[in-house]
Amino acid sequence: MSRMQYRNIDFRPAMQAGWRSLWIDRDGNLKSDPIVGWLLQEFVECHDDGHVAPGAPPPGDRERRVVAAIHAEGFGSTVFDPDDEIPVWRVLGPDQENPSPGEIANEYERRKNLPK
C-alpha cells in the first residue's frame, strides 16, 4: 500500500544556538524544545516501507518544504519534525522573546475550542 507523505531528504544543522519551538501542554503551560536544525522534506507517494512508489514525479518536480527539527527529551537520539508528535505553536529565533502570559492563555483557550 502507498500514500502521499512528506519524507525527509536532507538535514542542515542550525548555524546559531538559541532557536526553539514552543508548544502548550494540556494544562496550559508553555513548553520549549531546542531546534537543532532544519529538515528538507518532499511530498511524494511512498510505500509503507518508505520507498518512493513507481510513477512518482522526479525529485525536481516534487513539492518541498523546510521544517524545524527538534531533539526532544524522551525521544532518544532521534531528530524529527515536531509536527509528527508535538503541536508546535511557534518557532522563535535566538533573539526573540517568549510570548507573554496573556498570549499563552489566549492560545490555550483557542486550542481548547478547536474541533478534535
Q: What single letter denotes the amino acid at residue 49?
A: D
- pLDDT the model gives residue 16: 92
Residues in the chain, pLDDT under 70: 72-86, 116
Sign of CA dihedral 44, 84, 35, 47: negative
- pLDDT the model gives residue 80: 55
Distance CA 73, CA 61 (A): 36
Could you list the residue range(s) of the whole structural domain that residue 40 is in? 2-112
Q: HSE, CB side, 13 Å, CA atoms: give it for residue 24.
A: 19
Q: Domain count for the chain, please give it.
A: 1
Q: CB 72: neighbour CB atoms within 10 A? A: 19
